[in-house]
Amino acid sequence: MALLPIIHYPDPRLHTKAKPVAKVDQRIQQLVENMAETMYAAPGIGLAATQVDVHERVITIDVSEEKNTLLVLINPEITARSGEQECEEGCLSVPGIFDVVKRSAQITVTALNQRGERFEFDADGILAVCVQHEVDHLDGRVFVEYLSLLKQNRIKTKLVKRARVTA
Ligand SMILES: [Zn+2]
C-alpha cells in the first residue's frame, strides 16, 4: 500500500473527465487500496481517483464515525434523485475551504464493488452529499464551482498564494 499525492485546486488536471473502468482487475484493486489509505490518512470521508491524478471512475468513501465502513464505487451512476439539501462541504483538493452547496437529498446509486460485482443502494444525508461530491470529481467538477465567481476567484488566489509559500 502507498499514500498517493493529492492534487489541489486550481490544478487543471482536476477538470479531467474520468473514463469508465473497463475491468476490475488487480491494478484497480491496488488503486482502491492506495486510495483508501490516502483518504484515511488525510483524513477525509471521500476520495475520487481524479484527485490522485488517475482519470478512471473509482471512488472511496467512509462516512462512518469509527472509520471502519469502506464503500468502494467503481463506475458509479446516480440513477435517481429527489429532494434538496444544503450542506457545508470541504474537499481534500481545496484544503481549508468550506462552503455550503445545494444537492439532492436522496439518491439511488449503482456501481461495481472492488470485486467487480454490481450493487445498488439508496443514500441520504451526508452519504448522499459525499457520493454527489465525488461523482462530480469524476466528471471534472470541483465543489467550489457551485459558488459565486467572486468566491471562486478569492479561493483560487488564496490557494495559489499558499502553494507558493509552501512550495
Ligand atoms: Zn473533493
- Give me 100's grid cell: 455550503
Q: Hey, which residues are catalytic here?
A: 134
Q: How much distance in Å is there from the Cα of 118 to the middle of ligand 1?
A: 24
The 10s digit of each residue's pLDDT in 45-95 is 999 999 999 999 999 999 999 999 999 999 999 999 999 999 999 999 999
pLDDT at 166: 72
- Average predicted confidence (pLDDT) for the chain: 96
Question: How many angstroms separate the most distant Cα atoms in the chain?
Answer: 45
Q: CA-to-CA distance for 154 and 5, rounded, in angstroms?
A: 24
Full-model pTM: 0.96
DSSP 58-118: EEEE---TTS---EEEEEEEEEEEES-EEEEE--TTSTT--EEEEE-SEEEEEEE-TTS-E
Q: How much distance in Å is there from the Cα of 93 to the middle of ligand 1?
A: 6
The 10s digit of each residue's pLDDT in 88-140 is 999 999 999 999 999 999 999 999 999 999 999 999 999 999 999 999 999 99
